[in-house]
Amino acid sequence: MILELETVSAGYGAVQALTDVSLHVAEGEIVTLIGANGAGKSTLLMTICGDPRARAGRITFDGQDITALPTHAIMRGGIAQSPEGRRVFPRMTVLDNLIMGAEVAGHDPGRDLERVYTLFPRLKERAAQRGGTLSGGEQQMLAIGRALMARPRLLLLDEPSLGLAPLIARQIFSAIRELNAREGLSVLLVEQNANQALRLAHRGYVLVTGRITLEGPGRALLDRPEIRDAYLGTGA
């Protein structure tokens, strides 16, 4: 088990965003978390990173309890996140953005750059361009590439398909599948695009107002009528 959450609760101020959430990601697994707006999906990813901190429960990464670790220590220990809204550094070049990802891990970025450029050749073409001048899809590639630079063992992806044309979104998803299949990278994926996300994932969880209501293999969840009604819009 690379990541395990046991009855984790978290929130902001008086607002309780997560209640008794338990989930796990196995080594080499793609796990997807689907839910409506405001269900607490992004909060869950952020809580794993220690910001906000879990109010109750336990988070373990690779057998080590990381619940109380400061954010920067968690992010140095083998978890990387491509945050919601991409958040590339707009005034820094693509290359600078990527190097920022490797900096905290403290290794030479050369080999990792090659790996990211192989995965997203577009980034190599745009290396000298400012992050803010890239298209949405390219920015998403950059955000994922930047996260990969730290050589994570677990990649957290927050809505990578948000605001992207379907074709570009498919490219992003196939890149995730490739990373997982070729390198055995574990991925925890948060998505609103339930259809594609559940097809990609080995397993899925459904989050409703801060609680896990359903879990199961991706394809099996896709076939459940309540999922089809709520997230795919194909029901009656």
Partner 1 sequence: MRVAAALRDAAITGLVAAGLFLPLVALRTDVSPSGALFIRTRWSDAAILIALAVVGRFALVLWLGRKIPVASTESAWWEEPLRRAGKFFTPVLLLVAVALPWLPGTGRYELDLGILVLTYVMLGWGLNIVVGLAGLLDLGYVAFYAVGAYSYALLAQYFGLSFWLCLPLAGILAAFWGVLLGFPVLRLRGDYLAIVTLAFGEIIRVVLINWASFTGGPNGIGGIPRPSFFGLPFSMGGEAGSFAHTFGLEPSPLHRVVFLYYLILGLALLTNWVSIRLRRQPLGRAWEALREDETACRALGINITTTKLTAFALGAMFAGVAGSFFATRQGFISPESFTFIESAIILAIVVLGGMGSQIGIALAALIMIGGFEVFRGLEEWRMLVFGIAMVVIMVLRPRGLVSSRTPTVALGERRAISGALVGEGRG
Q: Which residues sit at the interface with partner 1, rule CB under 8 A?
A: 49, 51, 70-76, 80-83, 87-93, 95-96, 99-101, 103-105, 127-128, 130, 132-133, 146-147, 150
Least distance CB 69 / partner 1 (angstroms): 11
Q: Cα dist. 104→73, 108, 131 in Å?
A: 10, 11, 19
What is the nearest approach in angstroms of partner 1 to the Cβ of residue 89? 4
Q: How far is the CB of 121 from partner 1 (least distance, A)?
A: 14
By C-beta, is 87 or 211 nearer to partner 1?
Answer: 87
Question: 58 forms bridges with which residues in the sheet?
Answer: 6
Tokens, residue 148:
């990969």
As a dihedral over the C-alpha atoms of residue 229, residue 232, residue 233, residue 236, rounded to 10 degrees, the angle is: -40
To which H or E segment does residue 62 belong? none
> Shortest Cβ distance from residue 229 to partner 1 (Å)?
34
Structure tokens at 135: 């298209």
Of the two residues 76 and 228, which places its CB atom closer to partner 1 in the complex? 76
Handedness of CA 90, 91, 92, 94 (dihedral sign): positive
In which element (H, E) is residue 223 found?
helix 218-223
Q: Which is nearer to partner 1, 38 or 132 (CB)?
A: 132
Nearer to partner 1, 191 or 222 (CB): 191
Q: For partner 1, give the closer residue by CB, 71 or 174.
A: 71
Cα angle for residues 36, 40, 43 (degrees, 5° grid): 140
Rounded to a whole number of angstroms, the minimum distance from the CB of residue 54 to partner 1 is 16
